[in-house]
Structure 1
């Protein structure tokens, strides 16, 4: 969606999609907006509570069934298991994605890992395509005039132009571009505490083959799960940047991450958007 700063200021129902790497400040930015006026839609939360809810619970139950005490209680319906996903705690989604590697260390086989990756891709597409209906629903039911879509870091990886077109038709897409300093910090943080991530299959195949050649692994199940995630993150990070930028160039606008550090309230946010539109 394209518009002038004046058109944006006069827009009665402001709708924004925040795009960028996880850790760049999208959620913090959204949380600075008054919750009584802005509906905060988290793509990752929608994925975990709607589209991957059952696979996530199945994964947790499999782990619980390995514990004899819990297995008997589950089989007799004496207990039940549920995840407690919140916008600020998406650990069950991350845990479901998992990591490639040694099963004895919690790793997944390549086939199981790819199965989960495919489920996540389908879920993310569905969650983003839900945005127009949520915009309608939260206004008609709850009276929210303004809507902010906190998109997951892997939206640029989906390879589904129609989903991006839908977002652009109904929202202003704002890409938060990392600075060199933040890039260094995010890579360092990811390598220090490796988290499961979504990868395009072609990217995964290429990088996994290179990793195994470089580290001398002949069997995927011999890989310590954290090792591949730490190794691949810089490549993943840098491969995503031009993908985000291409989306912003065609459909939206770009702001640098250091600019959002100055956003403390709604007025600051409105000025940030207007400056981006004016450029």
Structure 2
């Protein structure tokens, strides 16, 4: 939604969506807001608990069934398996997404990887549509005054205008823009610890073909999973930046990550947004 700085300051129950790459400070910022006043909605947590809960468990069980000792216990109902997704621990979601490549190195076939990517895409759309329901719940049931939607880094990849319009209708969209220096830090950090990621299929197909050509691979199922993630991450990161900016330009406002890092409490946050609205309103 668009509004004047005065309208924002007078908005009694503020609902805000934060957009940025992982590492830009979204979650750190959300954790600085008083828990008794701000309801923290994590898109990734909603994905892992509501929409990918069963596929995540199926994946874990499939791995466990390959261990004879665990297989016997599972088949006799002597043990059960559950995942422990939390706002601070999204590893089950990440491990489900997986990486393309050599199965001996923990990789997935291209077909299985794309199947999981499609499930995640559908789940992320559903989780973002749930925002409006949770805004209502947060206020009417739990008596929270304000609402923060810590959206996943791949929201800009959904290519679904209706989702963005839904978020813009119910929340003020704020993009946390990183500096070139922080961009390089995030990229280097990702390279040192390559993690599973979501890719738009067209982006994945184009860059996978390029990677295989550069490295003389004829079959995607043979590539080293971590090496590919390290190779593609800088390209993914840079491709997302203009997408975030386009969303902010159309539906919301932009904050500088350096300014966000200086926020100590919700008063600082509110004043920072009000100043950004003032500057960015024609």
Same topology, TM > 0.5: yes
Name 2:73's counterpart in structure 1: 73
Partner of residue 153, structure 1:
153
Aligned position for 2:242: 242
Give the TM-score normalised by structure 1: 0.99
TM-score by length of 2: 0.98
1:9 Cα deviation after fit: 1.0
State the Cα distance separating 1:224 from its structure 2 match. 1.0
Which residue is 1:176 aligned to? 176
1:95 matched to 2:95? The reply is: yes
Distance of 1:105 and 1:62 partners within structure 2: 17
5+ residue gaps, structure 1, are: none
Structure 1 residue 178 displacement after superposition: 1.0
Q: Does 1:133 align with 2:139?
A: no
Displacement of 1:20: 0.7
Q: Which residue of 1 aligns with 2:6?
A: 6
CA shift for structure 1 position 220: 1.3
Aligned residue for 1:142, secondary structure, equals coil
Q: Distance in 1 between matches of 2:13 and 2:267?
A: 15
Partner of 2:61: 61
Question: Root-mean-square deviation (CA), in Å?
Answer: 0.6
Q: Deviations over 1:156-188 (max 9, x none)?
A: 000110000000000000000110111000000
Farther off after superposition, 143-152 or 218-227? 218-227
Unpaired stretches in structure 2, ≥5 consecutive residues: none
C-alpha separation between the residues in 1 aligned to 2:198 and 2:32?
27
CA distance in structure 2 between the partners assigned to 1:157 and 1:213 by the alignment: 25
Cα distance in structure 1, aligned partners of 2:138 and 2:173:
19
Question: How far apart, CA to CA, are the structure 1 residues paired with 2:254 and 2:138?
Answer: 27
What is the alpha-carbon distance in structure 2 between the residues aligned to residue 138 and residue 69 of structure 1? 44
Matches within 5 A, 1:1-279: 1-279=1-279
Mapped partners of 2:45, 2:272: distance in 1 = 26
CA distance in 2 between counterparts of 1:40 and 1:176 reads: 17
Return structure 1 stretches of 4+ with deviation > 3 angstroms.
none
